[in-house]
Structure 1
Amino acid sequence: MRRLLALAAGLVVLAVSACSAPAPPRADAPQAKPTGPATLPAPTGPRPVGTTALHLNDTSRPDPWDPDVDARELKVTLWYPTKQRDGQRSPYMTAKEAELLLKGSGIATAPYDTLSKTRTNAIKDAEPTGKKLPLVVLSPGFTKPMSTLTSLAEELASRGYVVAGIDHTYESYATTLADGRVAECLACDSNTDPGFGAGLVQGRAADVSFVLDQLTSERQHSDLIDRKRIAMVGQSIGGAGAVAAMVKDPRIRAGIDMDGTTYARIPKSGLSRPFMFLGAQEHVPGGLDNSWDRDWKLLTGWKRWLVLTDAEHQSFTDIPLVADVLGIEPLPGMLPAARGAELTRTYVAAFLDQHLKSQRQPLLDQPSSRYPEAKFCPVACAQS
């Protein structure tokens, strides 16, 4: 669950590229060193992307990590289609957030403000366009800010989705709150406690339900969002949170766990809504993590289990895309950063198009020669 950037000999060891490749690049040719900030790959959908930040307070419950706070305060970043093509690009993260992330991760190979200079594609506070659009909730890994899933969020928004990315306060190294305070990782002090993962995902499920309540009841966003077409996608503990949120909240029609060990128990009656596991090699059947084996049997509706060859835990995030500017060298044989981003965006979008837009996706029915890294489990990637 908690694989820190700092342990990177295998973590953030992928080369940076600003664009996706149509075929799996395998050459080990030397890569040019970056001369400026990292640039996230451009979205491939037809629509420009806007983004804005919301600060929400759940006064119905105290904060689970700070006993002195009697309400749960959350930052939610929205990405959405817009007609506006020009304007200020949204910052990736603040200099302070970047500093705390690198310090917390033990990375001292680049100036602490390096990630704050990363170039995004979404236009800050642009006017949304469209009505009754499908909604995708995004949840990041433990210790990671929501910004580490920006590339995926921008891609989905360019394809006509509203994306709500939740920064789960005190569960990442840095979250900037409404009054400018930067909340640090209080949960990091408890992550070795018995039952930590199970408690964490239940808290995330509560965060998600609260955010859905707010977005579907407040008029500005309720007009934009189709409350009957909601899905959740998460990476690492965020993926585990997707399972927990779906068990708790029937409004979530479909979900994806990207490389996250699961903790929430699915009822014996099963979970009948569509679900997809998308992960790295340790999630093959019978592999290092057996939680997917357990839960696969309880998924009683449409389901897929995909493992990406040569992927690692952060291949489903932006971290490989920014590794080069952090001075982190790629390991030979690992999935290149641009290819990892392309595969993640392609398969996540296909799943959402099929289950929120009712657009059948043959890509999800069988292996593809265009994406040979994607192995369909349990049969195709079972260990011998």
Structure 2
Amino acid sequence: MRRTLAVASGLAVLAASACSAPVPPRSAAAPPATPTGPAVLPAPTGGRPVGTTVLHLTDESRPDPWNPDVDARELKVTLWYPTEQRHGQRAPYMTPQESELFLKGSGIAGVPSGTLSRTRTNAIEDAEPARGKLPLVVLSPGFTKPMSSLTSLAEELASRGYVVAGIDHTYESHVTTLSDGRVAECLACDSDTDPGFGTRVVQGRAADVSFVLDRLPSQWDGSGLIDRSRIAMVGQSIGGAAAVAAMVKDSRVRAGIDMDGTTYARIPRSGFSRPFMFIGSEQHVPGGGDSSWDRDWELLTGWKRWIVVTDADHQAFTDLPLVGPSLGVTPAPGVLPAARAAELTRTYVAAFLDQHLRSRRQPLLDKPSPRFPEVGFCPATCGRS
């Protein structure tokens, strides 16, 4: 089943799939609007300038899981980090070719093919990293999505003093540009109805994460900035499911967040004590359409939170609602506005990381807040009002 990016609830959302919770039915979508000008990602709130750079890493120890003609796993890793540099060239959101292939793969027509390449980011390309020892956060995007779909969150975390390593999982996205300029498209999309597909994806991503953690110290000149005793992982959709798999496989990942992803990795029956947070749409209320969180909640024996955001769609935790207007997509009534969804995502993810990688207690994570009435804590105060 190929995924198409549909105009549902007035937002660009992925069709229901084996890799994500189904999108709850809404009222009929509004017709596409006239595209606006280039999208502008919200400015980071952390106060520190952000730099970014790209690494290309090749794991010679294993063949690519999706391309039988490739005997090594090649990954693109985008790093975001604090810098002292306040001026310079802003990093591109996508190249024109990446924008074209992503829009084509997602079924979006009627807009210039390079539209997303004109999205304005906040990070300075190849800026010199700041000094210090900072926690590392690994990001993993949803199925068919490039890493750029989580740019707003990555920039926010870097501005707050984190190093962020975002992984493009090759052949699982509509487009990944490799080291020599070759473009890898979504070969995994040909297998996504196979039995055990979700499990296969998260196991492969867990291997990708461990390899990146192994190689960063020797492959990035700024790696001295990373405190390797403080590592967390955050992912959206199948990327969130991969956070569970990576933590089960690799003890270096101390804490994790799943943003609206059905889980597949099996947690040991003896339990799992490292901190973990689920944050998602109303599909993930206890007893809702996706039972995987109910199952895994019982096996999480350490610090844990299960947060549901009212009126959030599956893509609310990504940049897609933010760039939607540039594609002629406007939200329907009753859908969480893009700016608010971004604020909630950034705030709760950062609070979790501050508490578990910096030992800074966050009362926001203890109970519902009047600042964020959309947020419910499961199983007590979540669900539809």
The reply to whether TM is greater than 0.5 is: yes
Tell me if 1:59 matches 2:60. Answer: yes
Tell me if 1:71 matches 2:72. Answer: yes
Distance in 1 between the 2:286 and 2:185 partners?
Answer: 36
Q: Against the structure 1 CA distance between its residues 56 and 40, is the aligned structure 2 distance closer, same or farther, given a 3 Å change threshold?
A: same
Tell me if 1:46 matches 2:44. Answer: no
Distance in 2 between the 1:211 and 1:55 partners?
Answer: 10
Distance in 2 between the 1:299 and 1:272 partners?
Answer: 6
**Residues 317-336 of structure 1: pairs in structure 2 closer than 5 A:** 317-336=318-337
Distance in 1 between the 2:186 and 2:219 partners?
Answer: 30
Match of 1:323, SS?
helix
Give the letter for the 1:7 counterpart.
A
Q: Against the structure 1 CA distance between its residues 247 and 299, is the aligned structure 2 distance closer, same or farther, given a 3 Å change threshold?
A: same
- Residues 5 and 12 in structure 1, CA contact (< 8 A), matched pair in contact too: no
Give the CA deviation at 1:112: 1.2
Give the CA deviation at 1:362: 0.4
Distance in 2 between the 1:5 and 1:348 partners?
Answer: 28
Distance in 1 between the 2:132 and 2:70 partners?
Answer: 36
Aligned to 2:183: 182
Tell me if 1:105 matches 2:114. Answer: no
Give the CA deviation at 1:132: 1.8
Aligned to 2:139: 138
Distance in 2 between the 1:116 and 1:220 partners?
Answer: 27
Give the letter for the 1:169 counterpart.
T
Give the CA deviation at 1:223: 1.1
- Residues 5 and 11 in structure 1, CA contact (< 8 A), matched pair in contact too: no
Give the letter for the 2:114 counterpart.
D
Of all paired residues, the percent bearing the same amino acid is 77
Give the letter for the 2:254 counterpart.
R
Q: Against the structure 1 CA distance between its residues 53 and 279, is the aligned structure 2 distance closer, same or farther, given a 3 Å change threshold?
A: same
Deviations 1:320-361 (Å, cap 9, x if unpaired)?
001011011311100000000000000000000000011110
Give the TM-score taking structure 2 as reference length.
0.92
Match of 1:349, SS?
helix
Deviations 1:229-275 (Å, cap 9, x if unpaired)?
00000000000000000000000000000000000000001110000
- Residues 263 and 292 in structure 2, CA contact (< 8 A), matched pair in contact too: yes
Give the letter for the 2:371 counterpart.
R
Distance in 2 between the 1:43 and 1:283 partners?
Answer: 28
Aligned to 1:26: none
Q: Against the structure 1 CA distance between its residues 33 and 104, is the aligned structure 2 distance closer, same or farther, given a 3 Å change threshold?
A: closer
Aligned to 1:10: 9
Distance in 1 between the 2:220 and 2:112 partners?
Answer: 42
**Residues 117-136 of structure 1: pairs in structure 2 closer than 5 A:** 117-136=118-137
Distance in 1 between the 2:209 and 2:72 partners?
Answer: 15
Distance in 1 between the 2:365 and 2:290 partners?
Answer: 23
Q: Against the structure 1 CA distance between its residues 361 and 5, is the aligned structure 2 distance closer, same or farther, given a 3 Å change threshold?
A: farther
Aligned to 1:245: 246
Distance in 2 between the 1:214 and 1:268 partners?
Answer: 32
Gaps of 5+ in 2: 14-32
Aligned to 1:153: 154
- Residues 50 and 81 in structure 2, CA contact (< 8 A), matched pair in contact too: yes
Gaps of 5+ in 1: 15-31
Match of 1:243, SS?
helix
- Residues 109 and 328 in structure 1, CA contact (< 8 A), matched pair in contact too: no
Distance in 1 between the 2:9 and 2:264 partners?
Answer: 24
Q: Against the structure 1 CA distance between its residues 218 and 35, is the aligned structure 2 distance closer, same or farther, given a 3 Å change threshold?
A: closer
Aligned to 1:309: 310
Give the CA deviation at 1:222: 3.6
Give the CA deviation at 1:136: 0.1
Aligned to 2:344: 343
Distance in 2 between the 1:347 and 1:109 partners?
Answer: 35
Aligned to 1:284: 285
Distance in 2 between the 1:151 and 1:170 partners?
Answer: 23
Give the CA deviation at 1:224: 1.1
- Residues 144 and 172 in structure 1, CA contact (< 8 A), matched pair in contact too: yes
Match of 2:287, SS?
coil
Distance in 2 between the 1:13 and 1:237 partners?
Answer: 17
Distance in 1 between the 2:365 and 2:265 partners?
Answer: 26
Give the CA deviation at 1:215: 1.4
Aligned to 1:360: 361
Tell me if 1:230 matches 2:222. Answer: no
Match of 2:293, SS?
helix
Distance in 2 between the 1:220 and 1:270 partners?
Answer: 38
Give the CA deviation at 1:89: 0.0
Distance in 2 between the 1:41 and 1:207 partners?
Answer: 29
